[in-house]
Amino acid sequence: MDFSINNSASNTLFQKIEQVRRRQGKVQDTHITLAHGSGGKAMRDLIDDIFVSNFDNPILSQLEDQASFNLSNLLQQGDRLAFSTDSYVVDPLFFPGGDIGELAVNGTVNDLAVSGAKPLYLTCSVILEEGLAVETLRRVAKSMKAAANKAGVQIVTGDTKVVHRGAADKLFINTAGIGVIPSGISISTQNIQPGDVVILNGELGNHGAAILVARGELALETDIQSDCQPLHNLIETILKACPKVHAMRDATRGGLATVLNEFALSSNVGIRLEEESIPVREEVKGICEILGLDPLYLANEGKLVVVVAKENADTVLSVMKSHPTGKDACIIGEVISSPPGIVLLKTVFESERIVDMLVGEQLPRIC
């Protein structure tokens, strides 16, 4: 079966190719070219150099077309698999308090965690614009790895596509994630009952405001940082203290108002908020006033809305406050039987108004 080389010309060619192959795969270019999306040598080097070396885990480094896991091991951690995905198109890529990479990990980690799942494995699929600086991609990959470490997840498989200059804006990331939901946990937007209490883990709108400021559209100097953070550990702590949480969601795009409207519609209940109990930073209020925005609709990337039976509210509030990600937790409203499907806000002036779902668009490309 051996291959015998018959002449010195092919022998030389052969040695040359061997040399190229054996060289550690390193990206030679400073900027992304279409070849990095070809499926060939340049793509393989990009994947090795940027993703495999940074994400660094044995499942990914096998570079099969799919990652695989033992189901019995998963079953030891719970009885249901949770599966979620989000694409991230945030502009700018880097902003105070985070970047697109950190967002792409935390966003999907949080979408899993709000079901009560322990997040375990993520995918990472990137769409790159020709001309993107390789250094930018490297920085984002390092940020994803740091966020994955913090959230206790592994990035196990992925994909790389490159489009012509002008066919995408710099870099889009998709992550999909799987996690395991422990037995006995049943969290759903359909579980909410009149009498329940609505708890929030802290200030609203910091992510939205940080992005606005980072875009330079406001001649403002502030120290507002995105609240981009993983919520899985706070959620685990809450569920240990109170496994019977009714509903839970992170308030991202569309803000608190959108989450609560979805709750109200899914469970066919009303929700009444107390405006004065909803924490919003003065700077965020200021930005909202200047731009005619409402903090209830501003995006967040580390804010948890928890709905629990009234008798469990004190317990949940107390464990949240003792956790770093929940130290500013507070009760912001209550669930009422009527009007079903409607969210009301009792304003600081003691009047009541309807908080509808977001109509139109506040801030495109916020996440």
Cis ω before 96 (30° cut-off from 0): no
295 lines the binding site for a copy of itself (CB under 8 A): no
Q: Between 91 and 130, how does the x/- string for binding to a copy of itself read (CB under 8 A)?
A: x-------------------xx-xx-x---x-xxxxx---
How crowded is residue 125: how many other Cβ atoms within 10 Å of its Cβ? Answer: 17
Q: Exactly one of 27, 37, 153, 202 binds a copy of itself (CB under 8 A); which one?
A: 37
DSSP code per residue over 173-210? EEEEEEEEEPTT----TT---TT-EEEE-S-SSHHHHH
Residues 133-152 that bind a copy of itself (CB under 8 A): none
Stretch that binds a copy of itself, among 14-22, 141-149, 212-220, 229-237 (CB under 8 A): 14-22
365 lines the binding site for a copy of itself (CB under 8 A): yes
Rg of the Cα atoms in the chain: 24
221 lines the binding site for a copy of itself (CB under 8 A): no
Residue (of 216, 224, 215, 218) closest to 283 by Cα position: 224
Shortest distance, position 225 Cβ to a copy of itself, whole Å? 21
Shortest distance, position 129 Cβ to a copy of itself, whole Å? 10
Closer of 6 and 30 to a copy of itself (Cβ): 6
Residues 191-220 that bind a copy of itself (CB under 8 A): 194-195
Q: Which residues of 66-79 are buried (b: 16+ CB within 10 A; e: fewer)?
A: ebeeeeeebeeebe
86 lines the binding site for a copy of itself (CB under 8 A): yes
Q: Tell me, rounded to whole angstroms, the distance of Cα 288 from its chain centroid.
A: 24
Closer of 64 and 221 to a copy of itself (Cβ): 64
Q: Exactly one of 17, 152, 268, 315 binds a copy of itself (CB under 8 A); which one?
A: 17
233/241 Cα distance (integer angstroms): 13
246 lines the binding site for a copy of itself (CB under 8 A): no
Shortest distance, position 272 Cβ to a copy of itself, whole Å? 7
Residue (of 121, 76, 124, 74) closest to 103 by Cα position: 124
114/196 Cα distance (integer angstroms): 18
